[in-house]
Amino acid sequence: MHIAVIKDSGPAERRVAATPDTVKGYVAAGHKITMTKGAGAEADFSDAAYKEAGATISASNTACVKNADLVFSVNGADAKLVGSLKKGAGITGAMSPTDNPKYAQACAKAGVTAFALDYIPRISRAQAMDVLSSQSNLSGYRAVVEAAGIYGRALPMMMTAAGTIAPAKVFVMGAGVAGLQAIATSRRLGAVTTATDVRPAAKEQVASLGAKFVAVENEEFKAAETSGGYAKEMSPEYQKAQAELTASHVAKQDVVITTALIPGRPAPKLIDKAMLDSMKPGSVIVDLAVERGGNVEGSKKGEIVTTKNGVHIVGYLNWPSRMAADASNMFARNLKAFLPLVTSEDGAYAPNWDDEIIQGCALTKEGAVVHERLLALPTATKKPAAKKATPKKAPAKKAAPKKPAAKNAGKKKG
């Protein structure tokens, strides 16, 4: 098949969906690869390296995707470029579909099949394709490294002739893939590490990494996980109890990493102004959920905000792109694992619609939006109101002629 790899755009985007190594493998399998000029430059992959691997370099994204059967992207092409794809082509990427349902509609309108890699089911067979895990893993690592640099003090305990430096206290809120990697990194750097999560399974995972678990462990907590392994939205009562426990704990921390996200919903607020006011000057909070509204009150996209009492709130965007080479390598391997599901035995582009992974991540098919999560959105179910036909005015009725008054009407008899 003809595979096109575009130069991705977006906030602070530096990643690319294929590396010279994966391109070499695709070419060896008989596929034709076109790359947009400079697609991998910010991830330190040169056009020359792609040429050597067997790719053809195109001058623009539009030229790159012309006649392509399948387009590889990190976060999906813009709607205008989707319109340039041939009808029946496919496009991949981590598209955040519920945040941008109009994107799927644009793909459907163009007759393009969109595969949202961030919707790939979390089953054992799909682990090698899981872009959310591969990218979040790097985000968690980088968050601690950045926090350590901004904190300006040592993270491990140091015993010297000049005295002892106490270890920093790091608190990780959310023990998903990003949170667990943040815990592991914090521990490796020698900080006293604690963590919290609403999912019961997280307690054992946190303990296995040598950190202490902090949570309100009531009956609601025991049932706070979906069948897919995601966190459920908790009741107001639980949130209040957890917030009280968290508030007292946050006040003692030097570094806080927040990673809490709920699919299809704004990020939950975990740290409010009162908690920020209780923290020590020089403390650092990294809000990994800032792109979805943020877990921290006052965090701003792409900025470091310093409060009046000297707490630094880090709201960097696109954390995986801060490690673009590694992030691109992992993303490219995820795509390489996904490719066989859309490839026939003779190497042609042919999605296997009987496969549960394809069914789980396909947003569109044959000109229609088909994914149940998008169809469940209010905007997807609303049809434009039909124009009311202007009722025709009925012809005015002619007034009935007045009957002549009867003789002697109104006169009393007799």
Residue 260 amino acid letter: A
Candidate list 69, 130, 197, 287, residue with the active-site label: 130
Question: Residue 122 catalytic?
Answer: yes
Sequence-ordered list of residues with C-beta below 8 angstroms from that of 92, at least 6 positions apart, any chain: 17, 70, 71, 72, 73, 115, 117, 335, 338
Question: Residue 230 catalytic?
Answer: yes
Question: Residue 127 catalytic?
Answer: yes
Question: Residue 235 catalytic?
Answer: no
CB contact at 8 A, 176 and 207:
no
Q: What distance in Å separates the CA atoms of residue 198 and residue 173, rounded to the nearest whole number?
A: 10
Q: Among 169, 183, 143, 179, which residue's Cα sits nearest to residue 259?
A: 179
Candidate list 60, 187, 230, 359, residue with the active-site label: 230
Give me the residue label for tokens 């977006």.
Answer: 10
Kindly state the tokens that stand for 165: 């430096």
Question: Residue 26 catalytic?
Answer: no
Q: Among 74, 95, 289, 96, which residue's Cα sits nearest to residue 176?
A: 289
Candidate list 21, 47, 60, 122, residue with the active-site label: 122
Q: What distance in Å separates the CA atoms of residue 82 and residue 238, rounded to the nearest whole number?
A: 44
Candidate list 9, 127, 235, 344, residue with the active-site label: 127
Does residue 44 come out as left (phi exceeding 0), alpha (psi in the -120 to 50 range) or beta? left
Which active-site residues does the annotation give? 122, 127, 130, 133, 230
